[in-house]
């Protein structure tokens, strides 16, 4: 594991350990975060820990032709129970994601410092949110890093206050990115939920090639 100093750099991703942990230290400045994502790296740590940087192998990604929408979800979408927006309340979305309870996790990696850093990225046009509404209530959403030159969106986190809200946000984002001719939606690490939506694991070196192509 590498120790990062004040110099803006990261070690090669193939130096990561078996869990994907690559480096520790550094900061959450916009420049460092953007360099990280462009290099196939992302921060993931809990309150009280140093900043930990990961580049997992394999990498979970969604290629849009693989998107799976169940029959019941299609029926729900036809009823149009939600209104979906983009970038209308980024800070609210990330704060709700921080509060979302997750299986096998005691806390959240979305610390106050992370909220500040990603909100700043949003103000710079780099971080994007999708919001799902029922009337005036924000009931679901997601956020991530939009690597526009690379045509890759790096999903960070989702939340849902009512059934299917985060799923609808994910599907909306996938279709939006496909229409914009993006290469894929980076989902980072495996979950059953992401797999059910069509995301698959690919070797890290394949992901890096897609990122750099």
pLDDT in tens, 49-88: 999 999 999 999 999 999 999 999 999 999 999 999 999 9
Q: For 86-164, where are the alpha helices, taking DSSP H only?
A: 90-99, 112-123
pTM of the model: 0.94
pLDDT in tens, 158-203: 999 999 999 999 999 999 999 999 999 999 999 999 999 999 999 9
CATH class of 59-212: alpha beta
pLDDT at res. 101: 74
Boundaries of every domain in the chain: 2-54, 59-212
State percent of the chain over pLDDT 70.
Answer: 97
The domains spanning 2-54 and 59-212 adopt the same CATH topology = no
Nearest to 91 by CA among 71, 117, 63, 53: 117
Supply the CATH classification number for the domain 2-54: 3.30.70.3550
Task: Count the neighbouring beta carbons within 10 Å of the beta carbon of residue 212.
Answer: 10
Confidence check: pLDDT of 107 > 60: no
pLDDT at res. 103: 58
Residue 189 burial by Cβ neighbours in a 10 Å radius (0-12, 13-18, 19+): middle
Position 100 confidence tier, pLDDT thresholds 50, 70, 90: confident
């Amino acid at each position: 594991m590498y120790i990062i100093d004040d110099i803006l750099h990261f070690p090669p991703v193939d130096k990561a350990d078996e869990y994907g942990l690559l480096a520790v230290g550094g900061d959450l400045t916009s420049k460092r975060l953007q360099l990280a994502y462009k290099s196939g790296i992302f921060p993931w740590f809990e309150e009280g820990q140093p900043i930990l940087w990961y580049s997992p192998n394999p990498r979970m990604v969604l290629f849009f032709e693989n998107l799976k929408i169940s029959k019941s979800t299609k029926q729900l979408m036809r009823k149009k129970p939600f209104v979906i927006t983009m970038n209308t309340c980024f800070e609210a979305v990330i704060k709700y994601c921080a509060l979302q309870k997750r299986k096998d996790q005691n806390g959240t990696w979305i610390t106050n410092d992370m909220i500040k850093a990603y909100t700043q990225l949003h103000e710079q046009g780099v971080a994007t949110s999708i919001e799902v509404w029922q009337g005036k209530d924000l009931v679901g959403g997601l956020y991530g890093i939009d690597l526009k030159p690379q045509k890759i969106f790096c999903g960070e986190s989702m939340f849902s206050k009512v059934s299917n809200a985060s799923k609808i946000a994910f599907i909306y984002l996938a279709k939006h990115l496909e229409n914009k001719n993006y290469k894929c939606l980076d989902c980072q690490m495996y979950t059953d939920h992401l797999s059910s939506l069509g995301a698959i694991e690919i070797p890290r070196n394949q992901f890096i090639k897609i990122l750099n192509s």
